């Protein structure tokens, strides 16, 4: 039995266990995407204090990253025409709710992923430089406030968290494995998104979910993963939020939201600079948002996933990978490059390695075959749904 077959067998056995605690609901599949609609009575009480980080899908042995980078630079990827949808700054204004500071994270299989033995340079630091009582904390400003923590009821009926980000006023993007078990046909439930989460405080309150969308191939386990359920081409999902509590507005109108790009937007051939945001359990106990910056390259062997150097781990799943992160400068005697749009999500954290020494993570890239049909399915129709504005 080869190494890939061993991965597949072990993961399949694990998925049988992880199916416990999934929710039932209205499921519809069409044109390669599947939606799960929440029922009002299915909104569970989440344990924000004792939540577990969603385990980061992992593989034991990395590719030779230096050779993989050389191969990536010499290859010409077959992609469609790169495109993007722009983000929005938002109107700001806090609506703070205290959720309780997170309890100490237990080492439930979490392995910390700085420059590791695989030789892939990066830098990691807090995106949040303030405290829970300071209204000027970094992550409360756009663009950081468009990212946050995503809580939900997952395997075994426990409360878990992933990372996620807004890409429309009421649309959140995260990893597929934060929405459903790969190859199980079963969704998790009870998602609540907390933008700019900070040490037990929800600066913009919490937003519950109405439904979730995922690629049918990922849900059914037929999407052609290099390692089944771990290194996949479509580990991406979107969640539609409800109005903020007691209002008729979506939280993205307040926080703003990122844009998103597909088919290599911001890449030169197979290479780009990635800024990663998330809430990994192994850094600051996931009490604060973390930022990681590294060059990323696509690896054709690994299901065309993008690979970066990173120090994030469990709980960072679903966090956005962005090109051109930051405030757009005013041009004064300069001109833009070929991909100038700022704050564009081009993937989400999908997997890492079981060893803490390699310090790399991977992401299923956004393409015209995953993020575009997902958004078309969720935002289709006329007039355009308010959550898509």
Give the CATH fold of the 18-388 domain: Thrombin, subunit H (2.40.10)
Q: What pLDDT score does 34 carry?
A: 93
Q: What pLDDT score does 299 carry?
A: 87
125/121 Cα distance (integer angstroms): 14
Identify the CA nearest to 214 among candidates 318, 86, 322.
318
CB 275 within 8 A of CB 321: yes
Identify the CA nearest to 206 among candidates 268, 150, 258, 156.
150
Name the 3-class secondary structure at 220.
helix
* 288-313 pLDDT per residue, tens: 999 999 999 998 888 999 999 999 99
More confident call, 118 vs 152: 152
* 330-363 pLDDT per residue, tens: 889 898 888 999 999 999 999 998 777 888 999 9
* 6-34 pLDDT per residue, tens: 344 334 434 433 444 555 678 988 889 99
More confident call, 332 vs 66: 332
Please compute the mean of the pLDDT values over residues 174-184 and round it to a whole number: 96
Identify the CA nearest to 165 among candidates 177, 175, 179.
175
- Boundaries of every domain in the chain: 18-388
Q: What pLDDT score does 66 carry?
A: 66
* 245-279 pLDDT per residue, tens: 889 999 999 999 999 999 999 999 889 999 999 99
């Amino acid at each position: 039995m080869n190494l890939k077959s061993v991965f597949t067998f072990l993961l399949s056995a694990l998925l049988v266990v992880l199916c416990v605690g999934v929710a039932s609901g209205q499921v519809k599949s069409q044109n390669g995407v599947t939606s799960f609609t929440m029922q009002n009575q299915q909104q569970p009480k989440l344990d924000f204090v004792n939540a577990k980080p969603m385990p980061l899908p992992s593989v034991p042995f990395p590719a030779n990253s230096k050779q993989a980078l050389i191969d990536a630079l010499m290859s010409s990827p077959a992609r469609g025409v790169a495109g993007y949808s722009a983000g929005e700054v938002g109107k700001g204004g806090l609506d703070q709710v205290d959720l309780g500071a997170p309890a100490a994270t237990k080492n439930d299989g979490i392995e910390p992923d700085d420059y590791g033995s695989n030789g892939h340079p990066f830098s990691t630091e807090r995106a949040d430089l303030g405290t829970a009582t300071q209204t000027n904390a970094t992550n409360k400003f756009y663009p950081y406030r468009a990212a946050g923590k995503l809580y939900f009821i997952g395997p075994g009926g426990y409360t878990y968290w992933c990372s996620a980000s807004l890409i429309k006023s009421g649309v959140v993007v995260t990893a597929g494995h934060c929405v459903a078990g790969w190859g199980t046909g079963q969704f998790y439930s009870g998602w609540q998104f907390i933008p700019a989460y900070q040490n037990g405080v929800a600066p913009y309150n919490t937003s519950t979910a109405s439904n979730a969308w995922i690629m049918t191939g990922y849900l059914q386990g037929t999407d052609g993963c290099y390692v089944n359920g771990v290194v996949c081409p479509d580990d991406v999902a979107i969640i539609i939020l409800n109005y903020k509590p007691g209002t008729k507005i979506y939280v993205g109108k307040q926080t703003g939201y990122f844009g998103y790009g597909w088919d290599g937007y911001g890449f030169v051939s197979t290479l780009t600079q990635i800024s990663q945001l998330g809430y990994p359990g192994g850094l600051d106990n996931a009490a604060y948002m973390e930022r990681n910056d590294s060059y990323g390259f696509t690896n054709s062997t690994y299901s065309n996933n993008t690979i970066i150097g990173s120090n994030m781990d469990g709980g960072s799943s679903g966090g956005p990978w962005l090109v051109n992160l930051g405030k757009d400068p005013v041009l004064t005697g300069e001109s833009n490059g070929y991909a100038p749009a700022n704050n564009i999500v081009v993937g989400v954290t999908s997997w890492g390695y079981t060893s803490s020494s390699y310090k790399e993570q991977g992401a299923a890239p956004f393409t015209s075959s995953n993020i575009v049909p997902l958004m078309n399915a969720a935002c289709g129709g006329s007039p355009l749904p308010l959550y898509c504005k």
